[in-house]
């Protein structure tokens, strides 16, 4: 009898789940691929939902209790879990403080769900959640998990407030978000799903306010680039004073040393063709919206790559240009000693509004006067808010954004866009100090 009862409970819970999934698909068709990626799997003894990126674990009894308590709760849990993985929340535990990241991720997911304005997914607790989220928005905090997390770390809550907010925004368990663990479906897989959802959202959201979903999807699909590897895009060929192993005849060298003592009959070639960076421009947006400590951290991180990767010539020409709405300074670096001195003593100037065009005009003047030779590329470190040039320059241009800013849609199509992980820069600064 108990087995029959459990079978009926399992069947009823599965029916509730299927009904909730169908309602989502009927109204939010841009989520179809994402929903199909989650495979429901009954897990006896669980107290609610959890997900490892592929399996949506649930307890049949818990599903029925939640549905009886509030019918919208199951559809809400589905959407909440779905947004966690569309927004890559489950893959971001590395270097995160668990309790703060759990709260930030839940707040971002709930904000996105409530923005959909689906009557079938509304909960009695939504009013209180909206009040909390509005409080953070009034402080200028963008409601993505990454930005909320950084804000909560810089402005820590006392333990009681943290626990209260965690209870308010709790929907699912994150015990399957194992730090450093392996997911059934990878981050790359979910990123492709998120990119598909973002593309579908463009046509679906006509006339609808979907800003929260779009911002979170933009954050999730942004390229986290290995900056060390990225600098290799700017290498040029040239001669450097290095032993050329490829063109050196070791047999003749060894024969001469054995026959004539310390007099080799062939000397190693002193120069070889290598790929390193020579002419290079780093433009720094020093407008009021770019924090000085992050600018310095970016320069120090870039320098540490230059210093350790041997990708620069001993003699180089690097312009560090500071600009807000006009060029404020241009520091020319010829070698690593000068670069180190600038990092130790260099002053940041400007802090007005942002216009990117003066930097490009100034660089063209330098090229015209012959002060820059074969410029391979320019990296512009900025928050992304400013006036961009309409015409593409003759050299490759990269706009490097802090992940807090995301990737603005106004960036011209000819520019390469990358995100620099602010948490990574912060960790590097801690290690340095």
Report all structural domains of the chain as residue ranges with CATH numbers, in order of start.
2-221 (no CATH), 227-241+276-432 (3.40.50.410)
Predicted confidence at residue 191, as pLDDT, reads 84
pTM (global) more than 0.95: no
Give the whole-angstrom CA distance, residue 353 versus residue 286. 9
Both tokens of 337, joined, read 């000693």
Classify strands 271-285 and 236-241 as parallel, antiparallel or unpaired. Answer: antiparallel
Predicted confidence at residue 223, as pLDDT, reads 60
Predicted confidence at residue 278, as pLDDT, reads 61
Classify strands 271-285 and 55-58 as parallel, antiparallel or unpaired. Answer: unpaired
How far apart, in Å, are the Cα atoms of 157 and each of 110, 149, 151, 163, 404? 20, 12, 10, 9, 20
Span 360-392, pLDDT tens digits: 999 999 988 888 877 777 888 887 778 888 888
How far apart, in Å, are the Cα atoms of 152 and each of 63, 145, 148, 408, 431? 32, 10, 6, 24, 22
Give the whole-angstrom CA distance, residue 200 versus residue 86. 13
- Residue 327 pairs in a beta bridge with 323
Predicted confidence at residue 355, as pLDDT, reads 87
Burial of 207 (0-12, 13-18, 19+ CB in 10 A): exposed
pLDDT tens string, the chain, 433 residues long: the values are 588 888 999 999 999 999 999 999 888 888 888 888 889 999 887 777 888 888 899 999 999 999 999 999 999 999 999 999 999 898 877 667 889 999 999 999 999 999 988 888 999 999 999 999 999 999 888 888 988 998 898 889 999 999 999 999 999 999 888 654 556 677 788 888 888 888 777 666 665 667 788 778 877 776 665 666 666 666 544 444 444 445 445 455 455 555 555 555 445 544 444 445 567 888 988 875 556 677 777 877 777 766 655 555 555 678 899 888 889 889 888 877 787 788 777 666 656 667 899 999 999 999 888 888 777 778 888 877 788 888 888 888 888 877 555 555 567 878 777 777 666 666 665 656 5
Predicted confidence at residue 377, as pLDDT, reads 79
Predicted confidence at residue 45, as pLDDT, reads 75
Give the whole-angstrom CA distance, residue 52 versus residue 178. 9
Predicted confidence at residue 218, as pLDDT, reads 76
Give the whole-angstrom CA distance, residue 243 versus residue 257. 18
Both tokens of 93, joined, read 């535990």
Helix or strand run (H / E) with residue 154: helix 145-154
């Amino acid at each position: 009898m108990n087995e029959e009862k459990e079978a009926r409970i399992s069947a009823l819970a599965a029916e509730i789940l299927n009904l909730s999934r169908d309602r989502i698909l009927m109204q939010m068709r841009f989520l179809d691929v994402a929903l199909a990626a989650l495979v429901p799997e009954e897990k006896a003894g669980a107290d609610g939902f959890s997900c490892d990126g592929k399996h949506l674990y649930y307890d049949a009894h818990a599903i029925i209790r939640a549905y009886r308590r509030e019918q919208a709760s199951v559809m809400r849990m589905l959407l909440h879990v779905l947004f966690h993985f569309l927004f890559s929340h489950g893959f971001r535990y590395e270097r995160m403080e668990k309790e703060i990241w759990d709260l930030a991720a839940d707040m971002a997911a709930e904000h996105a769900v409530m923005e959909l304005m689906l009557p079938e997914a509304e909960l009695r607790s939504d009013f209180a959640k909206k009040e909390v989220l509005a409080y953070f928005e009034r402080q200028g905090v963008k409601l993505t998990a990454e930005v909320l997390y950084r804000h909560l770390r810089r402005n820590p809550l006392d333990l009681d407030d943290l626990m209260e907010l965690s209870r308010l925004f709790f929907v699912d368990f994150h015990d399957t978000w194992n730090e450093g663990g392996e997911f059934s479906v990878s981050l790359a897989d979910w990123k492709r799903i998120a990119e598909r959802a973002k593309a579908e959202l463009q046509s679906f959201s006509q006339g609808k306010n979907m800003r929260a979903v779009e911002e979170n999807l933009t954050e999730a699909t942004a390229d986290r680039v290995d900056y060390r590897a990225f600098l290799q895009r700017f290498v040029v060929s040239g001669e450097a004073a290095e032993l050329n192993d490829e063109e050196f005849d070791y047999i003749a060298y060894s024969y001469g040393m054995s026959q004539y003592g310390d007099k080799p009959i062939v000397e190693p070639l002193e120069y070889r063709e290598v790929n390193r960076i020579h002419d290079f421009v780093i433009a720094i947006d020093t407008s009021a919206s770019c924090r000085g400590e992050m600018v310095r951290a970016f320069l120090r991180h870039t320098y540490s790559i230059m210093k350790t990767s041997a990708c620069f010539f001993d003699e180089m020409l690097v312009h560090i240009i500071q600009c807000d709405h006009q060029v404020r300074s241009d520091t020319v670096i010829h070698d690593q000693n000068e670069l180190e001195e600038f990092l130790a003593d260099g002053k940041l100037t400007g802090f007005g509004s942002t216009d990117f065009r003066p930097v490009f005009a100034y660089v063209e003047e330098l090229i015209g006067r012959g002060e820059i030779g074969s410029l391979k590329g320019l990296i512009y470190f900025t928050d992304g808010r400013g006036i961009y040039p309409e015409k593409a320059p003759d050299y490759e241009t990269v706009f490097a954004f802090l992940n807090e800013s995301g990737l603005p849609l106004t960036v011209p199509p000819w520019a390469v866009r990358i995100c620099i992980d602010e948490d990574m820069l912060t960790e590097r600064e801690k290690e340095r100090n």
